[in-house]
Amino acid sequence: MTVFPPEVAHLRRLDRDHLWHPFTPMQAWRDEAFPIIRAADGFELIDTEGKRYLDGISSLWCNVHGHRVPEIDRAIENQLHQVAHTTLLGLASEPSIRLAKRLVDLTPAGLNKVFYSDSGATAVEIALKMAFQFHRQKPGGPEKRDLFVRVGNAYHGDTLGTVSVGGIDLFHAVYGDLLFHTLQVPSPVALRVPEGRDRDSYLKWCDAELERVIVENADRIAAVIVEPLVQGAAGILVHPAGYLKRVRDFTARHGILLIADEVAVGFGRTGTMFACEQEGVSPDLMCLAKGITGGYLPLAATLATDVIYDAFLAPPHEAKTFFHGHTYTGNSLACAAAVASIDLFQRNDVLANVQRISKCIAEKLAPLRDHPHVAEVRQKGVMIGIELVRDRDGFIPFPAERRTGHLVTLAARERGVILRPLGDVVVLMPAPAMPMELVDRLCDAAIESINDATRLSL
C-alpha cells in the first residue's frame, strides 16, 4: 500500500469525499493511487510529490504548445492588466474581435461569422439551433426541417442536444427518453463487418446508405453533422479518403446544411490546421474548441456562412434574432490566449512538426501491427488509437471487467507517462508541438505498457 506525505494524504481524502470526476467509475477511483497534479513544465505534468509525467494525451486533446508557454502566459498576463471579462451582450471587446478575424482567415472559405461559447458541446448545440432556425427564416420561404443526420458511433458532447446527435450507446443509451429524434447513417469503418461482406463491399454500402437516407428525407433534414476524417471518442475511427467530400456533395445537392464538428480534430491534430482542408470541404457551420486557446482556457466558437447569418437579419420586432448566449461568451482572457496560440502555430511552423512526428509515430508503432493482442493501430496525424483484443484472429475482446485499457494506463503511469484509454482502445494524443525525442519516449512507453497489461493473467 502506498504511503503518502500528510499533505498529499489529506488532499486525497478531500478528493474522495467531495469530487465527482468526469467519465470516471467512482467506486474504482476511490481505491486508486491517482496522481494529483500541482504544476507543469513544457510537455510534462508534475504531481504533489514531485514526480513528472509526460502528457501523452495533451490534457484531454486540447494542449498544443506545451504547458507554461511564455508567449501565451504573457498574453494572458497583459490582458489581466486590462480586463479579465466583460459580456458580449450589448458590448464588444477587443480580444474577441481580433480572434474572430483570425479564425475567419484560418478556416475554410465562406465561414465569415463567429459565435463564441465555452466548450465543444456548446459549440455544437449552437450549430444545431442555428441550422434549425435558419430553415424557418431563410430566403425563399420557411421550411420546417426538423431532422438531423448523424454518423454511427458519433460523439459531439454531453449536453442533451449533442447527445441526441451522438451514437455511443455506453455514453448515451440511458438518456434515450430525453432526446430528440435523429437519423443515423453507418460509420464508414471496416475493422468488423457484417457476415457476407468484405471491407470494400461494406464501405460501398455505407456510401449507399448515406445517399439513401439523405434522398429519402431530403425535405425534412436540417443538417448532417460529422466529425471530419476521425471519430475521436468512438476510438479514433479513421474514415476512408473521400467520405467527407461525398457528405458535402450530397448535402449541397439537396439544400441541407453540413455541420463540421472540428472540436477534436481541429488545430493541427490531423496534419492540417483543420481536417476539412484535406478534402477541400467548406462546411456551412464549423464547431471549434479544445485546442483553440492552446489548451489554456475554456473557449469555443461556431463559425457560420454569410447565408446563414443573413437569415437572422430583420427588424428586432420580427424576432428573428438568434436567442442564445453564455455568461462567459468571448471571454477576454481566453481570446487573448487563442490569438497568442495562433501566432505560435505560424511562428514555430507547428503543422510541419505534426508531419514529422506523425511519421515518427507510425514507424515507432509499426511493430504493434503484429502484436497478438492488437486488433488495429489507427492513426491520422497525431491522433492514434490502438485497439486491444484478447484474440486478434476473431477480434474477441478482453472481458470488460478486466479493464485492459486501464491497466495500460497504470503501467504507463509507472513509466512517467499519462495515457487515457477509450475502453480497450489505448489513445495517444501528443501535443502538435511536442518535440521528436518526447514522441519517441511516448511511443516506447505505450508499447511497453501494452505488453505489460496484455501479459497479465488472462
What torsion do the CA atoms of 223, 228, 231, 232 make, to the nearest 10 degrees?
Answer: -120
Sign of CA dihedral 60, 65, 69, 70: negative
Reported as a single tens digit per residue, the pLDDT across 94-135 is: 999 999 999 999 999 999 999 999 999 999 999 999 999 999
Residue type, 151: V
Reported as a single tens digit per residue, the pLDDT across 388-440 is: 999 998 899 999 999 999 999 999 999 999 999 999 999 999 999 999 999 99
What torsion do the CA atoms of 65, 69, 72, 76 make, to the nearest 10 degrees?
Answer: 140
Extract the residue ranges of the chain whose pLDDT is less than 50: none
Give the β-pairing of 300-305 and 417-418.
unpaired
Domain ranges of the chain: 35-65+349-455, 72-347
Give the β-pairing of 417-418 and 420-422.
unpaired
CATH superfamily for domain 35-65+349-455: Aspartate Aminotransferase, domain 1 (3.90.1150.10)
Residue 384: per-residue pLDDT: 98
Distance CA 274, CA 127 (A): 17
Picking from 371, 415, 408, the residue whose alpha carbon sits closest to that of residue 391 is 371
**What is 72-347's CATH topology?**
Aspartate Aminotransferase; domain 2 (3.40.640)
Residue 457: per-residue pLDDT: 57
- The answer to whether 35-65+349-455 and 72-347 have equal CATH topology is no
DSSP designation for 240:
P
Distance CA 18, CA 21 (A): 10
Other residues' Cβ atoms within 10 Å of the Cβ of residue 438: 20
Residue 141: per-residue pLDDT: 80
Question: How far out from the chain centre does Cα 338 lie?
Answer: 17
**Is 447 within 8 Å of 410 (Cβ atoms)?**
no
Residue 394: per-residue pLDDT: 86
Residue 1: per-residue pLDDT: 65
Residue 3: per-residue pLDDT: 83
Residue 322: per-residue pLDDT: 98
Residue 2: per-residue pLDDT: 77
